[in-house]
Amino acid sequence: MRTVLFTDGTKYVADAGGAYWLLDEIAFTQRGDKRVAAAAFQLWTLTVAPDRTAILTCEDGDGNAVFRKTIPWTDFPLEAIQLYFTDNTILLPSEY
C-alpha cells in the first residue's frame, strides 16, 4: 500500500526477522477493518507461542482491543514485538 509508510527501524525488523508479512498485515488491515481504521493511534502486538503459532492484536490509543488474528505458523525470531501505527506510518515504540 503506497499510502502506508514504515520507518528505518521497522524495515530493520522486517529484514532481520523475515517479517514483511507483518508490515503487510498492519497496512492491509487499515483498509479492511473499519474499527482499526477509526483508531488514529494503534498499538500492534505480535506474540509468538513455543509451537510457532502467533497472535496479532491491535489496540486503539485507549487500550481497547480492535483486532485479533491467529497466525497459524511463523518463523519470527522474537517471542513478542510491539509496533505503533499513526499518521499512516508503522514505527517502533522507540521511534515515536
Q: Domains in the chain, start-ordered, CATH in brackets?
A: 5-95 (3.10.450)
What is the radius of gyration, based on Cα positions, of the chain?
12
pTM to 2 decimal places:
0.96
Q: Which of 83, 71, 96 is nearest to 13 (CA)?
A: 83
Largest separation between any pair of C-alpha atoms in the chain: 35
Tell me, what's the pLDDT at 2?
Answer: 80
- Mark the ranges of the chain whose per-residue pLDDT is less than 70: 1
Question: What distance lies between CA 15 and its chain's CA centroid?
Answer: 15
What is the rounded CA–CA span in Å between residue 15 and residue 1? 18
Tell me, what's the pLDDT at 48?
Answer: 98
Tell me, what's the pLDDT at 86?
Answer: 98
Tell me, what's the pLDDT at 1?
Answer: 60
